[in-house]
């Protein structure tokens, strides 16, 4: 009776382990943290290394997606700015051409309208840079085969590790069975289970090395490419803002020139009017001999 209770307890433990394995297989979304049996220190180190690489490449991929979404938003806003700026440029140029006189506002409108065209050209160049230097390279890597292949290798290794856990439990069960009933049949089954375990260990060693190598290469490429794209985006935005600032500085200088011209012209006309009035008064004084002639 006691032996039956022990066997029933062992069976319940095995069923619980199998249930946990099934849950892991169907609930996992990638290279999940595993409580599987540790075969040796080398395997444990490789497993931890793969876990770290898998998390790192997943975080890198998510960050690349964040940059892509931001660059897409910048491009969309830039396109809208071009549309609005082009319309404003046309309106300013039309106002300036329809009010051709010495009016300072008409001159300023023409200056701004002409210069605004160059601002929109700079925005177009920035949009092209965001598309070719940021969006395209990052999208290519996010959906690229090297990343997916490396992650699939890691996922295969994770499944094989779970298989090793199951097989280790099978070997332990067979060992207990042989100790309880050392028949040739039980011994043969134990040897078969141990042989299968050795095959799994050998396959894990090969697959683990491949997965680590592949993921490490992808991680290095991911870090390098993302950094380069960030540098390109910073340089592109810096160049854009510098050129636009130079355009507006030129607009401001022309505005001041227009203002000074108008002020100078107004002062000249006022001076002429004053001089004319003085001459008229002096003539009258001379006519009536108020001043000696």
| Position 186 pLDDT exceeds 50 | yes
Lowest-pLDDT range, 99-108, 122-131, 162-171? Answer: 99-108
Mean pLDDT across 252-256: 89
What is residue 42's predicted lDDT score, i.e. its pLDDT? 82
Half-sphere exposure of 143 (CA within 13 A, CB side): 6
What is residue 43's predicted lDDT score, i.e. its pLDDT? 84
Half-sphere exposure of 232 (CA within 13 A, CB side): 21
**Which residue from 154, 164, 226 is spatially nearest to 194, judged by alpha carbons?**
164
Task: Between 29 and 222, name the one with better pLDDT.
Answer: 222
Average pLDDT, the chain: 82
| Position 31 pLDDT exceeds 70 | no
What is residue 104's predicted lDDT score, i.e. its pLDDT? 86
Confidence of residue 281 (pLDDT cuts 50, 70, 90): very low
**pLDDT tens digits, one per residue of 139-160:** 999 999 998 999 899 999 989 9
| Position 123 pLDDT exceeds 80 | yes
Q: 30 near 151, Cβ under 8 Å?
A: yes
Instruction: DSSP for 202-260, please give it.
Output: HHHHHHHHHHHHHHHHHHHHHHHHHHHHHHHHHHHHHHHHHHHHHHHHHHHHHHHHHHH
Region at 289 (left for phi over 0; alpha for psi -120 to 50; beta for the rest): left
Confidence of residue 255 (pLDDT cuts 50, 70, 90): confident
| Position 266 pLDDT exceeds 80 | no
CA distances from 116 to 81, 90, 101, 197 (A): 11, 9, 22, 74
> Which one-letter DSSP state was computed for residue 134?
I
Confidence of residue 8 (pLDDT cuts 50, 70, 90): low
What is residue 13's predicted lDDT score, i.e. its pLDDT? 61
Q: 119 near 106, Cβ under 8 Å?
A: no
What is residue 10's predicted lDDT score, i.e. its pLDDT? 62
Task: Between 116 and 1, name the one with better pLDDT.
Answer: 116
Confidence of residue 26 (pLDDT cuts 50, 70, 90): very low
Task: Between 202 and 26, name the one with better pLDDT.
Answer: 202
Domains defined along the chain, listed by start: 16-250 (1.20.1270.60)
Confidence of residue 280 (pLDDT cuts 50, 70, 90): low
Alpha-carbon span 163 to 166, nearest angstrom: 5
Cα 155 from chain centroid (whole Å) = 25
**pLDDT tens digits, one per residue of 64-89:** 999 999 999 999 999 999 999 999 99
What is residue 130's predicted lDDT score, i.e. its pLDDT? 96
Confidence of residue 271 (pLDDT cuts 50, 70, 90): low
Task: Between 269 and 43, name the one with better pLDDT.
Answer: 43
pTM of the model: 0.71
Helix H or strand E encompassing 61:
helix 41-98
| Position 203 pLDDT exceeds 70 | yes
């Amino acid at each position: 009776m006691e032996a039956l209770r022990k066997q029933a307890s062992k069976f319940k433990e095995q069923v619980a382990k199998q249930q946990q394995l099934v849950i892991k297989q169907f609930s996992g979304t990638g290279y999940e943290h595993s409580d599987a049996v540790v075969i040796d220190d080398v395997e444990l180190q490789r497993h931890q290394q793969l876990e770290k690489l898998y998390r790192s490449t997943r975080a890198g991929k998510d960050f690349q997606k964040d940059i892509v979404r931001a660059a897409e938003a910048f491009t969309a806003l830039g396109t809208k700015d071009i549309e609005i700026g082009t319309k404003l440029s046309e309106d300013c140029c039309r106002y300036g051409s329809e009010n051709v006189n010495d009016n300072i506002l008409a001159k300023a409108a023409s200056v701004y309208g002409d210069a605004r065209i160059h601002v929109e050209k700079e925005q177009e160049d920035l949009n092209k840079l965001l598309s070719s230097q940021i969006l395209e390279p990052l999208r290519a890597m996010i959906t690229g085969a090297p990343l997916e292949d490396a992650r699939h290798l890691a996922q295969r290794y994770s499944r094989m590790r779970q298989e090793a856990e199951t097989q280790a439990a099978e070997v332990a069960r067979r060992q207990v069975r042989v100790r309880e009933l050392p028949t040739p049949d039980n011994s043969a089954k134990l040897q078969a289970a141990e042989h299968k375990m050795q095959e799994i260990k050998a396959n894990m060693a090969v697959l683990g090395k491949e997965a680590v190598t592949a993921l490490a290469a992808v991680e290095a490429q991911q870090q390098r490419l993302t950094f380069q794209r960030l540098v390109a985006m910073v340089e592109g935005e810096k160049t854009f803002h510098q050129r636009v600032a130079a355009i507006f500085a030129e607009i401001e200088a022309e505005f001041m020139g227009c203002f000074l011209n108008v002020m100078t012209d107004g002062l000249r006309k006022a001076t002429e009017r004053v001089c004319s009035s003085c001459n008229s008064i002096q003539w009258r004084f001379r006519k009536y001999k108020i001043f000696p002639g």
